[in-house]
Amino acid sequence: MNHLPEQSADRSVPTSADVARLAGVSRATVSYVLNNTSAVRISEPTRRKVREAAESLGYVPHAAARSLRAGHTSIVLLPTARVPSGAFFGRFFTELHEALRRLDYTVVQYGSLGLGPDEAARAWAELRPVAVVSFGEIALTPHGVNVLKRSGARAVVTLGPECVEGAHSLVMDQRGIGARAVEHLIGRGCRNIGVVQPEEPALAPFSALRLAGARTAADGTGARVEPLALACDEKSAAALAARWRGLGLDAVFAHDDEYAMLLMRALQDEGIRIPEGTAVVGCDDTLIGRLLRPRLSTVHIDLVTGQQLAELVDRAVRAPDGTGEQHDVMETWVVHRESS
Amino acid sequence: MNHLPEQSADRSVPTSADVARLAGVSRATVSYVLNNTSAVRISEPTRRKVREAAESLGYVPHAAARSLRAGHTSIVLLPTARVPSGAFFGRFFTELHEALRRLDYTVVQYGSLGLGPDEAARAWAELRPVAVVSFGEIALTPHGVNVLKRSGARAVVTLGPECVEGAHSLVMDQRGIGARAVEHLIGRGCRNIGVVQPEEPALAPFSALRLAGARTAADGTGARVEPLALACDEKSAAALAARWRGLGLDAVFAHDDEYAMLLMRALQDEGIRIPEGTAVVGCDDTLIGRLLRPRLSTVHIDLVTGQQLAELVDRAVRAPDGTGEQHDVMETWVVHRESS
DNA sequence: TTGAAAGCGCTACCAG
DNA sequence: CTGGTAGCGCTTTCAA
């Protein structure tokens, strides 16, 4: 814990007691007025006095004290290791936020970079969230789920590559994504298929599984699968493209649409035609892919909408006896365009 | 008392009192052991007993209770209305998160969609953050800053289009961005300049200011500035491109690189050559721009690094008497490539 | 209609 | 070395 200077004692933060004193009433009355408690009736003049006192002091209730007293929070925790980049997660996140807010939850994205899975779960549990929606950048273990539930979380939802015991899991089958791409490429007659492995560490868990799925799909078909390290910059792409002909590949699954754009450009600059020389498949079905020429074939992931997920969370929170554990797998399929 | 197995679905959340009871010590001792308080020395056997009891109960301290007692939190609040999209903010955010974590802050992104500026400031103040770093998607008013400071925030930093009184402001001069783009285009001989106005509401405050800056730059030069509504999808872009020749424009500032890519593609599909027929300038200097053909000219914004911003926050928090209010304007300049 | 007081979980002071 | 205990700010029951 870092040692912070004491908060200004001179201009200290006003409490409900200060409001009560200024309004000439008790703390209880202040609470009743400011929370519009319907169980008790407070006279209009008193209400006004309290409101004015609160206003003039700049009183803001202390969320920690309130939730301590209440015994629960309305926090929905969205752990975020890396900020999900791109249009794919972006819209989803915004939707989810909005929907949860409409349901009167306090949405908190808690950054947990550099924590192990169980450390992270503990850190989240300290906030006593009523629900946790994890996006799989951080692995949530069964033990972690247990810690969260024991700390009072009424819903734990994971949206990741694998289902997690104890949590309501929405499985985004990363192996399946790799498999879909490679099956598609094999179907188009390709036999030597590169699979991009981004060097960005946050993407490693995804790309490793996609590679595994790609291998499974190629198994026994006579096709070859070749991992290709690639950083998200032009130099790296140019270097890869420069040794492309030596690799003897006729297709590549580029991890996502952005990497696909990067690599496609480098290959084109190297004089390699797409899809004749090399077929390219991206992932996420973003706008980029439709704007590229040739138009990019891509793996579409049928992500649940933010609204639906928010409703799922809300149902689990309100359910009488915890969440019925449930596992859904998201569909994935290839959108075939011109690059393959 | 029954010993609870790990997977026991116990209704009540264990507290430090439960740990104390199980370990046969007082709550104070539990606190000392689990916080490694150096002021007191606890015997090793006692420590072990406490640790084991905590472990077996799945005890997790209650952050709200702790910060209530401590009188302050170590929360740095990052309000996020819309999730900043794209590589531009993405890396910045990740950096900032990481750097703040290294400095032992609890980073909380608090979603405040659909709240007015003062409502939002109040909601943030309820969490008693030690610092707030606002990204200008939500306007922070001087009054809002005041509310936050009064609630104990020791640093309020805004990163937005304008400086905010009372806060440490990093000004990303939106007018200047529009002006830079238009000055550049005028310098390239363009006289009829479109300025894209994204239909996405979250971008409106930015694009309106950029348009204003564009107009100022064109004023008295004989150049004409024309706002162009555009949604972030192909249909909208195609529709705009279809009536392009009728607009009589010879240049366009496309708000950002993504809109530039979208519009450039639509114009090219319409048979309009770039830059000869129409010059295009984007903004943010992202990877996309370098991959496009022709390569995209763009307005580069010299954003502070996440590390630097984290250090700024930390300094302000630790400063003996609040933050010295300060205003910095970020530099912007045009990176000239092939599209203009 | 209002007030007094208990107590949420935790830490820090002060006795033993 | 360890335990008792006060009190952080708030809500809510019970009493006046």
> Phi and psi at residue B266, in whole multiples of 5°?
-65, -40
Q: Please check whether residue B164 is in contact with residue B170, taking contact to mean a CB–CB distance below 8 angstroms.
A: no
Pair type for strands B327-329 and B297-301: unpaired
**Which pLDDT score is estimated for A12?**
80
Asked if the C-beta of B111 comes within 8 angstroms of chain A's C-beta atoms, the answer is yes
Least confidently predicted of A7-16, A211-220, B156-165, B286-295 = A7-16
**Which pLDDT score is estimated for A6?**
37
**Which pLDDT score is estimated for B323?**
59
Domain A75-171+304-330 has CATH 3.20.20.70: no
pLDDT band at B49 (very low <50, low <70, confident <90, very high): very high
**Which pLDDT score is estimated for B306?**
92
**Which pLDDT score is estimated for A215?**
98
Question: Alpha helices of chain B — where are they, by DSSP H?
Answer: 16-23, 27-34, 44-57, 63-70, 86-102, 117-126, 142-150, 174-187, 204-218, 234-242, 244-247, 257-269, 287-291, 306-318
Asked if the C-beta of A67 comes within 8 angstroms of chain B's C-beta atoms, the answer is yes
pLDDT at A11 over 70: no
User: Over the stretch A186-237, which tens digit does the pLDDT of each residue have?
Assistant: 999 999 999 999 998 878 888 999 999 999 999 999 999 999 999 999 999 9
Tokens of B170: 């990093």
**Which pLDDT score is estimated for A182?**
98
pLDDT band at B81 (very low <50, low <70, confident <90, very high): low
The DSSP letter of residue B106 is: E
Tokens of A19: 């409001």
**Which pLDDT score is estimated for B2?**
31
User: Over the stretch B126-144, which tens digit does the pLDDT of each residue have?
Assistant: 999 999 999 866 678 999 9
pLDDT at B9 over 50: no
CA quadruple A157, A162, A163, A164: dihedral positive or negative? negative
Asked if the C-beta of B291 comes within 8 angstroms of chain A's C-beta atoms, the answer is yes
* Structure-model confidence comparison of residues B111 and B88, the more confident one: B111
Of chain A, the percentage scoring pLDDT greater than 70 comes to 92
User: Over the stretch B52-65, which tens digit does the pLDDT of each residue have?
Assistant: 999 999 999 999 99
Neighbours of B246 (CB within 10 A): 7
Strand blocks (E) in chain A: 75-80, 106-111, 131-134, 155-160, 168-171, 192-198, 224-230, 251-253, 279-283, 297-301, 327-329, 332-335
Would you give the end-to-end CA distance of chain B in angstroms? 78
Which residues on neighbouring strands pair with residue A199, listed in sequence order?
Answer: none
**Which pLDDT score is estimated for A109?**
83
Q: Give the mean pLDDT of B267-275.
A: 97
The answer, yes or no, to whether the previous bond of B294 is cis (omega within 30 of 0) is yes
Q: Please check whether residue B55 is in contact with residue B3, taking contact to mean a CB–CB distance below 8 angstroms.
A: no
pLDDT averaged over every residue in chain B:
90
Tokens of B269: 């599909």
pLDDT at B25 over 60: yes
pLDDT averaged over every residue in chain A:
90
Asked if the C-beta of A80 comes within 8 angstroms of chain B's C-beta atoms, the answer is yes
The answer, yes or no, to whether the previous bond of A227 is cis (omega within 30 of 0) is no
Least confidently predicted of A91-105, A215-229, A280-294 = A91-105
Q: Which of B235, B303, B295, B241 is nearest to B268 (CA)?
A: B241
CA A81 to chain centre: 8
User: Over the stretch B302-321, which tens digit does the pLDDT of each residue have?
Assistant: 989 999 999 999 999 998 77
pLDDT band at A79 (very low <50, low <70, confident <90, very high): confident
How many angstroms away from the CA of B90 is the closest CA of chain A?
6
pLDDT at B89 over 90: no
Which residues in chain B, range 37-76, keep a C-beta under 7 Å from any nucleic strand C atom?
Answer: 37, 39-40, 59, 61-62, 65-66, 68-70
pLDDT at B80 over 90: no
Least confidently predicted of A29-33, A296-300, A328-332, B92-96 = B92-96
pLDDT band at A244 (very low <50, low <70, confident <90, very high): very high
> Phi and psi at residue A336, in whole multiples of 5°?
-85, 125
Nucleotides of D under 7 A from a protein CB: 1-5, 7-13
CA quadruple A131, A133, A137, A142: dihedral positive or negative? positive
pLDDT band at B5 (very low <50, low <70, confident <90, very high): very low
> Phi and psi at residue A328, in whole multiples of 5°?
-120, 140
CA distances in angstroms from A57 to A6, A11, A16, A54, A291, listed in the order given: 21, 11, 10, 5, 56
User: Over the stretch A106-161, which tens digit does the pLDDT of each residue have?
Assistant: 988 887 777 888 899 999 999 999 999 998 666 789 999 999 999 999 999 998 88
Q: Please check whether residue A199 is in contact with residue A231, taking contact to mean a CB–CB distance below 8 angstroms.
A: yes
Is this model's pTM higher than 0.75 or not? yes
pLDDT at A83 over 60: no
Tokens of B147: 């509310």
Closest nucleotide to the alpha carbon of A14, via C1': D9
pLDDT at A97 over 60: yes
pLDDT at B3 over 60: no
**Which pLDDT score is estimated for B289?**
95
B286 touches strand C (CB under 7 A): no
Q: Which of B271, B192, B261 is nearest to B230 (CA)?
A: B261
pLDDT band at A1 (very low <50, low <70, confident <90, very high): very low
Q: Give the mean pLDDT of B43-71.
A: 94
Residue A158: CA count within 13 A, CB half-sphere: 27
Q: Please check whether residue A340 is in contact with residue A279, taking contact to mean a CB–CB distance below 8 angstroms.
A: yes
Q: Give the mean pLDDT of B91-96.
A: 82
CATH match for B16-61 among 1.10.510.10, 1.10.357.10, 3.40.50.2300, 1.10.260.40: 1.10.260.40
pLDDT band at A288 (very low <50, low <70, confident <90, very high): very high
Asked if the C-beta of A87 comes within 8 angstroms of chain B's C-beta atoms, the answer is yes
How many angstroms away from the CA of B13 is the closest CA of chain A?
5
Which residues in chain A, range 3-42, keep a C-beta under 7 Å from any nucleic strand C atom?
Answer: 24-29, 32, 40-42
Return the residue matching tokens 């040739």: A294
Return the residue matching tokens 């302000």: B316
**Which pLDDT score is estimated for A87?**
60
Neighbours of B205 (CB within 10 A): 17
Q: Identify the architecture of domain B174-303 in CATH.
A: 3-Layer(aba) Sandwich (3.40)
**Which pLDDT score is estimated for B11?**
60
pLDDT band at B217 (very low <50, low <70, confident <90, very high): very high
> Cα separation of B159 and B302, whole Å?
12
Neighbours of A187 (CB within 10 A): 12
What is the domain partition of chain A in residue ranges? 16-61, 75-171+304-330, 174-303
pLDDT band at A295 (very low <50, low <70, confident <90, very high): very high
Q: Which of A13, A60, A69, A72 is nearest to A34 (CA)?
A: A60
**B214-236 burial string, b = 16+ CB within 10 Å, else e?**
bbbbbeeeebebeebebebeeeb
> Cα separation of A235 and A155, whole Å?
45
The DSSP letter of residue B156 is: E
B26 touches strand D (CB under 7 A): yes
Angle CA(A89)–CA(A92)–CA(A97) in degrees, nearest 5? 120
The DSSP H or E segment spanning B192 is strand B192-198
B3 touches strand D (CB under 7 A): no
Tokens of B148: 């936050």
> Cα separation of B275 and B338, whole Å?
7
How many angstroms away from the CA of B162 is the closest CA of chain A?
24
Closest nucleotide to the alpha carbon of B40, via C1': D1
* Structure-model confidence comparison of residues B275 and B107, the more confident one: B275
pLDDT band at A8 (very low <50, low <70, confident <90, very high): very low
Inter-chain residue contact B152 with A261, CB threshold 8 Å = no
Asked if the C-beta of B233 comes within 8 angstroms of chain A's C-beta atoms, the answer is yes
A32 touches strand D (CB under 7 A): yes
Asked whether the domain spanning B174-303 has the same topology as the one spanning B75-171+304-330, the reply is yes
Query: DSSP per residue over B279-318, as a string?
Result: EEEEES--HHHHHSSSPPEEEEE-PPPHHHHHHHHHHHHH
Which residues from B are below 8 Å from A6, CB to CB?
Answer: 71-72
